[in-house]
Amino acid sequence: MAGSVTAVSRSATHTLRKLNADCIRLVTGRGVEGDAHAGATVKHRSRLARFADAPNLRQVHLIHAELHDELSRKGIAVSAGQMGENITTQGVDLLGLPTGTRLHLGEAAVVEVTGLRNPCAQLDRVRPGLMGATLERDEHGGLIRKAGIMAVVIAGGQVSPGDAIRIELPAQPHQPLAPV
């Protein structure tokens, strides 16, 4: 299983939307250089009050471009970076990866998947109905979160659109993704 990076994005301020860039640099144990969510401890404003000293398990946000296509078919047009993601991928079933999967991005960067992004109401400020469109129910009534995954940086390096993604699965037994 392999895929590619289609876009990279960052924002120096705490905004949901991130600006596309020609490349981003991942910094080991911190996240995306120059991004407001980079750091060893929690940086997301909604989590600071309760978890300020906790490890930052949300250093890098990844979304699959296939979600943008799915949303477009529902009449909700979004593009790379608008949902707060740092890396947009193609050809990788991000939501189907187990916790602890390592994604090798480009020549040197490696991120380790920590869990699912929990969609929030801020998405509706990007496009009305966007939050609801990223949530579904499975046949047993369980909630399916489709707004991407979160990861930490294991090895730093530059990541650019067009870079290959190599997937390294963790040892068995695999643990399914849960919100972080």
Closest CA to 134 of 122, 152, 149, 148: 148
Distance CA 164, CA 90 (A): 10
Which CATH number belongs to the domain containing residue 35 in this structure?
2.40.33.20
10-28 pLDDT tens trace: 999 988 899 999 999 999 9
Q: Is residue 176 in a domain? A: no
108-117 pLDDT tens trace: 999 999 999 9
Q: Is residue 67 in a domain? A: yes
Statement: residue 154 has pLDDT above 90: yes
1-10, 39-48, 130-139: segment of lowest average pLDDT: 39-48
Q: How many domains does the chain have?
A: 1
Name the DSSP class of 179: B
What does pLDDT average to over the chain? 94
Residue type (1 letter), 60: V
Residue 9: which domain range? 2-168
Closest CA to 60 of 156, 135, 170: 156
Q: Is residue 113 in a domain? A: yes
State the pTM of this model.
0.94
66-110 pLDDT tens trace: 999 999 999 999 999 999 999 999 999 999 999 999 999 999 999
